[in-house]
A and B are shown apart, each in its own frame.
Chain A
């Protein structure tokens, strides 16, 4: 009986160790994705890192309960998105947002820098004006060049729905940017 108990305990401890290693691998794989999802909402480096970190901590606490490990990315993306939205609502009054983006980093002259900065600001405003369902599709399609099938998997909605939402979102963005 004692040997049997030891065997079970050893097996469970081994499973826990495997679980931890697996989570660390997922963390390395998905850290940028979680950060970008948070950044698309908050547009602040520090806040985005904090939110992504919180999402990983929650994911780690509940990782053993996740039955389908293949859906980890989708799970993490939705959790990060919700946390970022909550954070944004809490910091609504905070006006100082970072407007720096990679677009501006590629620009060289000051005049072009200003134009690109303005363009980026207008694009962010247009994205912010989108309904949430359209916004998350645009953001996920823009992050890491996800195609519609991947976005559908992340959001757990049909691919046709993603295509339709992406089409409408682009139409609205173009209208607002003109």
Chain B
């Protein structure tokens, strides 16, 4: 007797159980209660999944910040770096108090909300002083460029140039330059 075939036969007998006679009819009754597998549902499911995926992709694309690429190693300054030295009149309202107070100067506020520009804080401060017209620490170019009046005020006085004194007992020895290597050839001597 082959034990392997006996084992196989035993397994087949063990697993050869039969369902009851009413099993198929019970399953049919059960699936009659479940919603029918409509083709509409299948198509609509695929269509809805596609629409949702397209919406998500579009939303992500629109939400991405459109910044120009900066050279490697340069990081854009945070907004706070630009606005730290801005006087209260120029600074936009805090996010928490957005609806509490109206902006004082919409034009200046709009200028502050321009896209970020990489600029040193000192230069930014100087530009802000220029915009404010702070003439106490700024030399206006208009005064310097007023040529007719400026030229008329200038009076040129001749000045005497001091004589150059040369010591007579000092002599400069001539410098002699000699060739370091000379090569003789049929065409002549080359150095």
Interface residues of A (CB under 8 A from B): 12, 15-16, 19-20, 23-24, 27-28, 31-32, 35-36, 39-40, 45, 48-49, 52-53, 56-57, 60-65, 101-103, 106, 119-120, 123-124, 127, 138-139, 141-143, 145, 170, 173-174, 177
Question: Do the beta carbons of B28 and A49 come within 8 Å of each other?
Answer: no
Question: Do the beta carbons of B37 and A56 come within 8 Å of each other?
Answer: no
Which 6 A-B pairs rank lowest in CB-CB distance, beginning with the nearest? A142-B11, A35-B19, A64-B37, A142-B15, A64-B42, A60-B31
> Is B27's CB within 8 Å of the partner chain A?
yes
| Stretch of B2-10, B82-90, B113-121 lying at the A interface | B2-10
- Minimum Cβ distance to chain B for residue A66 (Å): 9
Question: Do the beta carbons of B39 and A15 come within 8 Å of each other?
Answer: yes
Whole-angstrom CA separation of A120 from B12 in the bound complex: 11
- For B147, list chain A residues within 8 Å (CB): none
- For A20, list chain B residues within 8 Å (CB): 36-37
B3, B19, B37: the one contacting A19 at CB < 8 Å is B37
- For B19, list chain A residues within 8 Å (CB): 31-32, 35, 45, 48-49, 52
- For B10, list chain A residues within 8 Å (CB): 103, 119-120, 123
Whole-angstrom CA separation of A8 from B5 in the bound complex: 57
> Is B41's CB within 8 Å of the partner chain A?
yes
Q: A24-B28, A56-B27 in contact; A64/B17 too (CB < 8 A)?
A: no
Measured CB to CB, the nearest residue on chain A to B38 is A16
A24, A49, A64, A145: the one contacting B38 at CB < 8 Å is A64
> Is B23's CB within 8 Å of the partner chain A?
yes
Question: Do the beta carbons of B20 and A103 come within 8 Å of each other?
Answer: no
Question: Do the beta carbons of A124 and B37 come within 8 Å of each other?
Answer: no
> Is B13's CB within 8 Å of the partner chain A?
yes
Task: Tell me the dominant secondary structure on chain B's binding face.
Answer: helix
- Minimum Cβ distance to chain B for residue A167 (Å): 11
Whole-angstrom CA separation of A28 from B25 in the bound complex: 10
> Is B80's CB within 8 Å of the partner chain A?
no
- Minimum Cβ distance to chain B for residue A121 (Å): 10
For chain B, residues 1 to 57, give those with C-beta under 8 angstroms from any C-beta of chain A.
3-4, 7-8, 10-20, 23-24, 26-28, 30-31, 34-42, 45
- Minimum Cβ distance to chain A for residue B11 (Å): 4
Whole-angstrom CA separation of A40 from B16 in the bound complex: 9
- For B41, list chain A residues within 8 Å (CB): 64
Whole-angstrom CA separation of A145 from B9 in the bound complex: 10
B13, B26, B31, B38: the one contacting A101 at CB < 8 Å is B13
- Minimum Cβ distance to chain B for residue A175 (Å): 11
- For B24, list chain A residues within 8 Å (CB): 27-28, 31
A12, A15, A35, A60: the one contacting B23 at CB < 8 Å is A35
- Minimum Cβ distance to chain B for residue A53 (Å): 5
* Contacts beyond the supplied A53-B30, A60-B31, A174-B7: 11 A-B pairs with Cβ under 8 Å: A27-B31, A31-B27, A32-B19, A35-B19, A61-B34, A61-B37, A64-B42, A101-B17, A119-B10, A124-B14, A170-B7
Whole-angstrom CA separation of A141 from B11 in the bound complex: 9
- Minimum Cβ distance to chain B for residue A163 (Å): 14
- Minimum Cβ distance to chain B for residue A73 (Å): 16
Whole-angstrom CA separation of A57 from B37 in the bound complex: 11
